[in-house]
Structure 1
Amino acid sequence: MVQPKQKEFAFSQKDFEQVRKRLLEITGISLADSKDSMVYSRLARRLRSLKLSTFVEYLRYLDTHPDETEQFINALTTNLTSFFRESHHFDILTEHLQQHPRHHTIWCSAASTGEEPYSIAMAAAEAFGRIDPPVSIIATDIDSQVLRTAQQAVYPLKHLDKMSIARKRRFFFKGKGPNQGKVKVVPELVKLIEFKKLNLLDKKWDIPSQLDIIFCRNVMIYFDKPTQVDVLGRMVKLMRPDGLYFAGHSENFNHMSSLLKPLGQTVYRPVR
């Protein structure tokens, strides 16, 4: 009979609860009970790196070393993304931009490794029929590590597997030599995007008002209801009355009808 593998570090339910509580305090993210294995595997790397023996020691270290907070957040935040994910949103975005031919300011509030903001930039280029469309995209994320990847604008070629040949040719350079198997987003699109680190729980956001569009997809599902109401309320105040708010397919804002009016397909308009 195969014996279960012994864990490198002891990890009790109390340890998990303490980690979960700390993440909630810092980021507003509420981890489900089922995430205990994920928490262990990701933070075990930090314990190993810091030569610590227990999770209690790690949390104590976190208290006395503020710079570790960034590593803690980076380890526990999830960054599932792809180009043109939930593709119907980009069809709606393109149509909206064509119907309102002016400059647009767009906030992508969970930029991750950059696929979403670059998809927004590509959709804008297609909507306006030019590689330098009149849009400004602010792309933020709580995870500094993924933002560094986003700013580099370099991706494995396989990440473009589901993209049309026309888009690949128009919006990417193909790597050669040591960069074989990689692609780089064209500089005209990169220039449209300002990447910055932002925690949605921060009391102040370095985000302009009169936003035309907000992409905040699959973010609110990690917050409890009071945090959702608080964050969403602040976002709505930054939007133009005719703005669009794009949410994730698994998010439901029926309990926030005073803030957002559903337009269908998880697209909303601010209530004024």
Structure 2
Amino acid sequence: MTLSREASTPDFGEWAGVERDLELTDADFSRIRHLIYQRAGIVLAEHKREMVYSRLAKRLRQHGLIRFADYLSRLERQADSSEWEAFTNALTTNLTAFFREAHHFPLLAQHAQKQGGTLRVWSAAASTGEEPYSIAMALDEALDGRTRNVEVLASDIDTEALRRADAGVYALDQVRKLDDARVKRYFQRGRGQHEGLARIRPELRAMVRFLPLNLLAPSWPVEGSFDAIFCRNVMIYFDKPTQARILERFAPLLKPDGLLFAGHSENFSYITETFRLRGQTVYVRRPRS
């Protein structure tokens, strides 16, 4: 028996639009883009509209609102409201991993071994902590555990991400991507209700200091001099003038031979003359004339 085409073909329909219970107009999206740029320097592209809806819709529902316009008006009326923090956290992207862009860490280790006295490194977009803890591991290994005078400053605008970083607890799946020696040396395995989790060992945690910081703030609660600054995969969210201003502010916080590490898709060579490229996405400050 031969089935007809109609009988043998599954019933496929047209794509239906995603049903939304909240209203996000073009004007609302434009206001959101303007506010997050003012607050955090983040440039939201047009294609981020769905992301914006899904993340901010949670905030509206929590406040019992159905219109983005009402939520944004409330924000604008209350300049000091804690909701600004939630708004910024919601629109911040936290994509990170331990030893991401691995070629940077041997360079950091070599640089650390040449230095004397206090060694300071700043992770300027620390997210949930994988980067600053990777820095701390690399320094501990490079210095054979002699890290008494080592400090890793870890900052981020996203306070919720920093809270998770400060806790230093990660899913085992994240940690298992490291080699066994590092896992045993730097992590404690969870048991009982913490099964499936791993925690940074207290000795390594003590090397890192976490600090909420907005790179667009008129002043930063940090003091130089740093041996290295990691500012990776965050500049891509800023426009070129904002990038240039941040780089100019980094320069005096670095030691004369200090290193600036950028993300794999970032190129600072055409933004400022303050830094010159030394290696793959690694920069040094140009000597002052």
TM-score under structure 1 normalisation? 0.97
| Structure-1 separation of matches of 2:231 and 2:262 | 5
Spell out, residue by residue over 1:225-260, the C-alpha distance to the aligned partner (whole angstroms, 9 max, x if none).
111111110011111110000000000112234111
Listed as ranges, the matches of 1:1-272 within 5 Å are 1-2=13-14, 3-65=16-78, 66-130=81-145, 132=147, 134-272=149-287
Aligned 8 A contact 2:124 2:230 in 1: yes
Aligned 8 A contact 1:139 1:194 in 2: yes
| Structure-1 separation of matches of 2:65 and 2:32 | 15
| Structure-1 separation of matches of 2:18 and 2:73 | 27
| Structure-1 separation of matches of 2:134 and 2:38 | 32
Compare CA radii of gyration and give the structure with the larger one: 2
Structure 1, gaps ≥5 residues long: none
Spell out, residue by residue over 1:45-103, the C-alpha distance to the aligned partner (whole angstroms, 9 max, x if none).
11111101101001011123421100000000000011000011111111111232442
| Structure-1 separation of matches of 2:95 and 2:146 | 27
Aligned 8 A contact 2:228 2:259 in 1: yes
State the Cα RMSD in Å. Answer: 1.2
Structure 2, gaps ≥5 residues long: 1-12
Spell out, residue by residue over 1:105-135, the C-alpha distance to the aligned partner (whole angstroms, 9 max, x if none).
1111001110000000000000001164531
Aligned 8 A contact 2:240 2:271 in 1: no
* Corresponding residue SS for 2:270: helix
Aligned 8 A contact 2:269 2:276 in 1: no
* Corresponding residue SS for 2:60: helix
- Misfit runs of 4+, over 4 Å: none
Aligned length: 272
AA at the equivalent of 1:250: S
AA at the equivalent of 1:12: T
